[in-house]
A and B are shown apart, each in its own frame.
Chain A
Amino acid sequence: MTDALLEVRDLKVEFKTEDGVVAAVNGVSFWVAPGETLAIVGESGSGKSVSALSVMGLIDKPGRISGGDILFAGQSLLALSERDYRRLRGGDLAMIFQDPLSSLNPAFRVGDQIAEALLTHTYEKKDAARRRAATLLADVGIPQAGDRARDYPHQFSGGMRQRAMIAMAIANKPKLLIADEPTTALDVTIQAQVLEVLQAAQQETDAAMLLITHDLGVVAGIADRVAVMYAGRIVEEGTLDEVFYESRHPYTLGLLNSLPRLDSDRSRPLRTIPGTPPSVLSLPPGCALAPRCPYVQDRCRTERPELEAVGPETHRSACFRSAELPALAAALEEVPSS
C-alpha cells in the first residue's frame, strides 16, 4: 500500500437537495498502484461515479466533499487551487466518460481536440501536436488516422468516438486513468475492441486505472482488484479472484448469482436479491442491505458493520456474518429454489 499512486481516505460527499442532505458517498477508502486496475462496482445510486468525480475534482454545487482526503502521489488533492487542479486534469489525471458523443465538442475536428489536450500540457507547436494527435488515433486503432483526424465527432461511429476519447485521455501519458462506464453505451463486439485498446493503452503508459462499472463481466476481464459499493459505502473489496470466487458479502454473492450466464441452467429461475436498493435519503440505521439480505439477524438492523479484513491480505468485507457466509450460502444453495 506504500506504493499507492492514489489513496482515497474516508471520503464523504454530500448533496443538498430539497428533501434534505444526501450522503452519496459515506466514508469510502480505496487505493490504486501504478499499472494496476481497480474496479469499483455498483448499481445506480451506489456512489461509484461520485467517488470517481471526487478524485477528478469535479463535484459541483449542490454537492461537496464533506470529509476525508484524496492523496495523489502523496499530495492532497483537496488542498489544491482550481488552477493547480486544472494542470493535473488532462495531464497526470485523465478521465474517460460513458457517453463519448456528449464529451467531444461537436464543433471541432477530432484531431484538433486531441491536439488541444496536448498543447495545454506538453506540446508547444500546433503542427507537432496535430501530428501527435494523428499518431494517437492510429494507436487506438482508427483506420486512416491522418485523414480521420480532420473529421468531426458526428462522422465517427460510437466505437470510434470512444477510441478517440481514449486517445485524448492517454495523450499526456497520465499516471491515473479513470474510466467511468467506458463501454456501457457500446455494442458487445465494439465493446471488446474498446476494452482491448484501453488495456493496451494502460500497459503502454503503466498508468493506474480506476474502472467504474456495473458490468461484472467487464470487471472479470480487466480488473486486478475490485471494490463493491452499495448505498454509498464499500461493502467488499479484494483481489478479482477473492471477490468473485470467495465472496464474503451477501450483496456481492447476490449480484453474482442473479446474473444469467451463457451456460447456466435455463430451467431454473434466476436467484434474485429481493426488493430494491434503498434511497440514500432514508437509509436504514444498521446495514443498508439488511432489508434485502437472506442472512439478516437482529444486530444487522441496528448496528452498521465496518469493513474488516476477512482474508490474509487485502480481502475485506462489511458483514457481521462474513466468516460463516460461505457455509450459509452453501446451505441456502441446497434448498431447491422455488
Chain B
Amino acid sequence: MSEPLLVVTDLVKHFDIKKGYFGGADAPSDVGGGGAVHAVDGVSFTLDRNETLGIVGESGCGKSTTGRLVLRLLEPTSGTICFDGTDINKLKGRVLREFRRRMQIVFQDPYASLNPRMRVQEILAEPLVIQGRRHEVKQRVPELLDMVGLHAEHASRYPHEFSGGQRQRIGIARALALEPDLVVLDEPVSALDVSIQAQVLNLLAELQERLDLAFLFIAHDLSVVRHISDRIAVMYLGKVVEIGAAGEIYTGAGHPYTQALLSAVPEPDPRRERARTRIVLEGDLPSPIDPPSGCRFRTRCWKAQDICGTEEPALIDRGQGHPVACHFADVSVHA
C-alpha cells in the first residue's frame, strides 16, 4: 500500500469572536463578545487515491470547515495537512499554486457558485487561464462538457439557462478542468430534486473510476453518504466521534451519536418505518463557543456517566474494528 494521498493530523480551527457592536470582548459569549468558536477541534484522518471518505454530521459540526481547511481556503489554528507527502500549510507562491491545481471543490448551491455574467465557456476556461494553460481551452472545454453529460453547444450559454442539476454538472466540470487528484464535494446534491440527485451521484461515481479521483464527500444525508463512500467519518461539535468502513458504520456503529443519527434517518419504506424504534435525542446541539467538558456528546447521551464529564474519550478501536470516541461504545455482534 502506498502513502495515502491526504493525511490530516490534529486539525484545529477556532474562529475568534471579535469585539462587536453590542458587547466587548468580555461580554457574555451569547451576545457576541469574547471567546472563540471551536469549529474544528483536533480532527485527523487519511484519504487514499481513488477513495471516497464521507464526512457526516449535523449543522455546526465542523464538516464544511474541515473541507475548506483541507483545500487551504482557511488557515488552520493548528495541525497539519499533508497532501501527497507535502505539508500544504507551509507552501507559498508558485508551489502552492501547483498544489491548488490538484485539489478542487464542488459547492452545494449550483445557483450561487457559478458567476451569472459568465458563459459556461468562460467558467470552464477560467481555471486553465489562471494556471497559464490558455492554449488548452479550445480543446478542453468541449471535453469537459462531454465528461459531465452536457453538449459542446452548451458552452455559449449562461448559467441561468440551465436547471439545477445541469448547473451542478457545470460546477463538477469546472472542478475537473485541471485534472485534480482530490475533489472536496461539499453537499453536492442537497440542493437538487430527488430524481436529479441520483443522476449526479452516478456521474460522480463514474468520474471517480475514470479519472482516479479521491473524494472528500461532505453531507448531512446519511443515505447519500453511505451510497457513495468507502469510509465514513462521523463528526459532532468539531470532533470525529467514529470513523470506519461505510458498511461497518452502518451495521456496527459503536458511538451512541452515530446510532442516534442512523436511527433518525427516515427511510422510504413504510413497513420499516412502522417497525423501527427511533432513538430520539434530547435537547439541542451545545454551543461550540463553550463546548461541554470531557465528551462533547454527553449532554445529550443516554449512556453518560461521571467519567464522560471529566475525561475526553480517545478516538481508538474499542473492539469494533474501527476507532470510536466513546467510553461506553457498543461492541457490535456484526462482523
Where the two chains meet, the residues of A that have a C-beta atom closer than 8 Å to any C-beta of B are 43-44, 143, 157-160, 187-193, 195-196, 214-221, 240-241, 244-245, 254-256, 258-264, 266, 269-274, 276-277
Contact A270 B198 (CB under 8 A): yes
Q: Does B280 sit within 8 A of A, measured CB to CB?
A: yes
CB distance from B242 to the nearest CB of A (A): 15
Residues of A within 8 A of B193 (CB): 43-44, 214, 277
A157 to B220, CA, bound (A): 18
CB distance from B171 to the nearest CB of A (A): 16
Given contacts A217-B267, A240-B270, contact A157 B284 (CB under 8 A): yes
Contact A189 B266 (CB under 8 A): no
A221 CB contact (under 8 Å) in B205, B262, B273, B281:
B273
Residues of B within 8 A of A157 (CB): 284-285
Given contacts A188-B58, A217-B266, A261-B267, contact A273 B195 (CB under 8 A): yes
Residues of B within 8 A of A216 (CB): 194, 268
Residues of B within 8 A of A260 (CB): 198, 201, 223-224, 226-228
- Among residues of B, the one whose C-beta sits closest to the C-beta of A337 is B202
CB distance from B59 to the nearest CB of A (A): 6
A266 CB contact (under 8 Å) in B227, B261, B268:
B227
Residues of B within 8 A of A261 (CB): 223, 227, 267-269
Contact B281 A189 (CB under 8 A): yes
- Among residues of B, the one whose C-beta sits closest to the C-beta of A279 is B163
Q: Does B17 sit within 8 A of A, measured CB to CB?
A: no
Contact B58 A259 (CB under 8 A): no
Q: Does B147 sit within 8 A of A, measured CB to CB?
A: no
Interface majority SS (helix, strand, loop, mixed), chain B:
helix
Q: Does B196 sit within 8 A of A, measured CB to CB?
A: yes
A244-B268, A258-B194, A261-B227 known; 18 other A-B pairs, CB under 8 Å? A143-B283, A189-B261, A189-B280, A217-B268, A217-B273, A221-B273, A241-B271, A258-B197, A259-B223, A259-B268, A260-B224, A262-B262, A262-B265, A264-B227, A266-B226, A270-B198, A271-B198, A277-B193
CB distance from B236 to the nearest CB of A (A): 10
Contact A272 B195 (CB under 8 A): yes
Q: Does B246 sit within 8 A of A, measured CB to CB?
A: yes
Residues of B within 8 A of A266 (CB): 226-228, 246
Contact B284 A259 (CB under 8 A): no
Given contacts A188-B220, A189-B261, A190-B284, contact A258 B268 (CB under 8 A): no
Residues of A within 8 A of B206 (CB): 269
A189 to B199, CA, bound (A): 27
- Among residues of A, the one whose C-beta sits closest to the C-beta of B281 is A189
A240 to B269, CA, bound (A): 9
Q: Does B44 sit within 8 A of A, measured CB to CB?
A: no
Beta-carbon contacts under 8 Å, B257-299 to A: 260-273, 278, 280-281, 283-285
Residues of A within 8 A of B199 (CB): 272, 274
CB distance from A273 to the nearest CB of B (A): 4
Contact B270 A220 (CB under 8 A): yes
Residues of B within 8 A of A262 (CB): 222-223, 226, 250, 262, 265, 267
Contact B198 A272 (CB under 8 A): yes
Residues of B within 8 A of A273 (CB): 195, 198
- Among residues of A, the one whose C-beta sits closest to the C-beta of B191 is A44
Residues of B within 8 A of A43 (CB): 193-195
Q: What 5 pairs between A and B have smallest CB-CB spacing?
A: A217-B266, A260-B227, A258-B198, A187-B58, A216-B268
Residues of B within 8 A of A240 (CB): 270
- Among residues of B, the one whose C-beta sits closest to the C-beta of A243 is B270
B58 CB contact (under 8 Å) in A44, A189, A221, A277:
A189
A184 to B284, CA, bound (A): 17
CB distance from B7 to the nearest CB of A (A): 25
Q: Does B166 sit within 8 A of A, measured CB to CB?
A: yes
CB distance from B259 to the nearest CB of A (A): 11
Contact B196 A276 (CB under 8 A): yes
Contact A189 B195 (CB under 8 A): no
Contact B270 A159 (CB under 8 A): no
A324 to B58, CA, bound (A): 43
Residues of A within 8 A of B196 (CB): 276
Q: Does B321 sit within 8 A of A, measured CB to CB?
A: no
- Among residues of A, the one whose C-beta sits closest to the C-beta of B257 is A189
Residues of A within 8 A of B281 (CB): 189, 192-193
A190 to B265, CA, bound (A): 11
A270 CB contact (under 8 Å) in B58, B163, B227, B262:
B227
Contact A258 B195 (CB under 8 A): yes
Q: Does B165 sit within 8 A of A, measured CB to CB?
A: yes
CB distance from A70 to the nearest CB of B (A): 27
CB distance from A285 to the nearest CB of B (A): 21
The 23 listed contacts between A and B (C-beta, < 8 Å) are: A43-B194, A143-B283, A187-B58, A191-B264, A191-B266, A192-B263, A192-B266, A214-B193, A217-B265, A217-B267, A220-B267, A220-B268, A241-B271, A260-B224, A261-B223, A262-B250, A262-B265, A264-B227, A266-B227, A270-B202, A271-B198, A273-B195, A276-B163
A241 to B262, CA, bound (A): 23
